[in-house]
Structure 1
């Protein structure tokens, strides 16, 4: 019996020591089912999309969206770096980093940011995923032709019509007095948007077809044009008769050109022009385009011309040489 008691006491002592060690040093008695630290789940870029944002005269904002696909165990310390690189030079134009945090659910997570770049050329937009500062995935797209984006200040839903049956600019003869012709001009505008038109105006310039001399100009305010409606803006000008003219109409919004149109007015009965013809040789009488100081047209893009004249025949040197030759012949015959 003493021996049994000794063994029992020793077993109790061993258990007590084990419990004391387990309490003093956590983790000594490990769970046999424990596989070690939890391994983070995989993260990949499922999709990247780019859309234009605010557009100014010099820059444009690119709205970039990336969807991260996460599966498995939670993944902590996730971030996405967005970078815009010039497609031609390779220079980095803009960089933004977005902290995502911990991804603990299966599925996709939307990450988005804005990159401001110059409104010209093209860019390579890249999205790179980091986990604890380590790169785990990347992807991107290329955008080009940013110069075609219309700045905010020049946007309008109103523009000149483009139809053979309804020309953008038309004219009719109102009256003819001596060598002056008065024209009624009509510019046709259409609102292609969903709201009423803004504060717009139309300027019309008539240039003599052969000289580019501005013969007349006029301006008219554009009233409110309802969505989907077409309206006509009318004005009147007086120009010298028997000439052909290009009619240039410009649509303005707060000092910004938003649309243009061109037509032709054939007042010369001997020939005709169209908007596709720019060169011909005809007689021009500039005095027909002169008027008062307020009405006198101005020449644009004209070039000075010089004319040189020469007469056929011999010069003075040739005549002297001929006289000397005749004298020598006469002297020889005299001997």
Structure 2
């Protein structure tokens, strides 16, 4: 057999062996890039909390979780939300969102919600699961839920808040030794973008010393244009020479939507001011940080070496003060 024939025979043999290998192991010719593709990975890029439906006793907290995906497809993904009382540590509500498969890279927002009572604050724990295995957890603190206005009382009309112009102004129309006729003017502002519907104004004249209601009045507040302020005036008659709290409230379909207070000082020997206001509560959302108790204290300042006494008063303490007094006495005796 010459050299050329031998080479052709060897090439034919290689082809036959290759064909048999492909039939026996079809995966041998798979694209190696598929084997080197990164496995699927999910991480939480961010969480947004916003108020949803607000009812009388409870409120809905809407949760938007931004999931960032890379690599191959991730199957059987679920997101679980737990609302836990900040003070009690008790589970208030729990919901699970079935996401399914996540593919294509980039970010995807998964929407969910929990229902909580309109009181106190909460920790919202968000956990991401893949095939039932937890892959990441995030915690968000929500406070001031009581400040959320129920949907039935949500209106942009309220009493005017001014530094100089009074919200409630009282003037005397007529007076004698027994009674006084008062004119009460109340300012109402529309902070919305559309004209308001008519609402009711109710006034109570409450005698300061006894809290007895001396008189009351009702007036209708007509439609107020956006950004405008209207003044509504009512007339009441009360016993003279007493001081009164003027309790004013705005009502819409028997729902209290705003309230304020003024005074009427008719006693020339004594005056009163409005009742003390309650501290305002605001709805807030922030990332959760572990509160670790250590020697630095809550604000991070070192409490160990500032020379403070046990009651927290800055100083050197009674022992150091006594030493200073003895040193001063000895020095005075040594002086000629």
Relative to the length of structure 2, the TM-score reads 0.71
**What is the aligned length?**
274
Moved more, 199-208 or 96-105: 96-105
Which residue of structure 2 aligns with residue 195 of structure 1?
194
Tell me if the contact between 2:38 and 2:71 (Cα under 8 Å) persists in the aligned partners: no
TM superposition shift of 1:75 = 2.5
Give me the whole-angstrom Cα distance separating, in 2, the residues matched to 1:62 and 1:43. Answer: 24
Alpha carbons of 1:171 and 1:132: their partners in 2 closer, same or farther (altered >3 Å)?
Answer: same
Give me the whole-angstrom Cα distance separating, in 2, the residues matched to 1:251 and 1:76. Answer: 54
Alpha carbons of 1:176 and 1:86: their partners in 2 closer, same or farther (altered >3 Å)?
Answer: closer
Give me the whole-angstrom Cα distance separating, in 2, the residues matched to 1:228 and 1:14. Answer: 89
TM superposition shift of 1:19 = 5.8
Tell me if the contact between 2:219 and 2:232 (Cα under 8 Å) persists in the aligned partners: yes
TM superposition shift of 1:29 = 5.2
Give me the whole-angstrom Cα distance separating, in 2, the residues matched to 1:35 and 1:162. Answer: 67
RMSD: 3.2
TM superposition shift of 1:143 = 0.6
Which residue of structure 2 aligns with residue 40 of structure 1?
39
Q: SS where residue 63 of structure 1 aligns? A: strand
Per-residue CA deviation, residues 187-233 of structure 1 (Å, 9 max, x unaligned), is 11111121222331111111222222221111111111111111111
Relative to the length of structure 1, the TM-score reads 0.71
* Correspondence 1:110 to 2:109: yes
Which residue of structure 2 aligns with residue 126 of structure 1?
125
Give me the whole-angstrom Cα distance separating, in 1, the residues matched to 2:22 and 2:144. Answer: 69
Larger radius of gyration: 1
Which residue of structure 2 aligns with residue 138 of structure 1?
137
Alpha carbons of 1:117 and 1:19: their partners in 2 closer, same or farther (altered >3 Å)?
Answer: same
Which residue of structure 2 aligns with residue 149 of structure 1?
148
Give me the whole-angstrom Cα distance separating, in 2, the residues matched to 1:151 and 1:33. Answer: 60
Which residue of structure 1 aligns with residue 168 of structure 2?
169
Alpha carbons of 1:31 and 1:57: their partners in 2 closer, same or farther (altered >3 Å)?
Answer: closer
* Correspondence 1:95 to 2:94: yes
Q: How does 1:21-40 map to 2 (within 5 A)?
A: 23=23, 27=26, 33=32, 40=39
Give me the whole-angstrom Cα distance separating, in 1, the residues matched to 2:103 and 2:274. Answer: 66
Tell me if the contact between 2:37 and 2:71 (Cα under 8 Å) persists in the aligned partners: no
Tell me if the contact between 1:48 and 1:140 (Cα under 8 Å) persists in the aligned partners: no
Moved more, 173-182 or 255-264: 173-182
Which residue of structure 2 aligns with residue 84 of structure 1?
83
Per-residue CA deviation, residues 15-51 of structure 1 (Å, 9 max, x unaligned), is 879967864x554856594885965222111111111
Alpha carbons of 1:61 and 1:276: their partners in 2 closer, same or farther (altered >3 Å)?
Answer: closer
In structure 2, runs of 5+ residues without a counterpart are 2-7, 277-336
TM superposition shift of 1:66 = 1.0
Which residue of structure 1 aligns with residue 329 of structure 2?
none
TM superposition shift of 1:168 = 1.4
Alpha carbons of 1:193 and 1:20: their partners in 2 closer, same or farther (altered >3 Å)?
Answer: same
Alpha carbons of 1:217 and 1:75: their partners in 2 closer, same or farther (altered >3 Å)?
Answer: same
Which residue of structure 1 aligns with residue 57 of structure 2?
58
Give me the whole-angstrom Cα distance separating, in 2, the residues matched to 1:186 and 1:219. Answer: 12
List, as ranges, runs of 4+ consecutive aligned residues in structure 1 with deviation greater than 3 Å: 11-23, 25-39
Per-residue CA deviation, residues 124-174 of structure 1 (Å, 9 max, x unaligned), is 222222222222222121111211111111222122123243211112222
TM superposition shift of 1:265 = 1.5
Tell me if the contact between 2:22 and 2:29 (Cα under 8 Å) persists in the aligned partners: no
Give me the whole-angstrom Cα distance separating, in 1, the residues matched to 2:115 and 2:261. Answer: 36
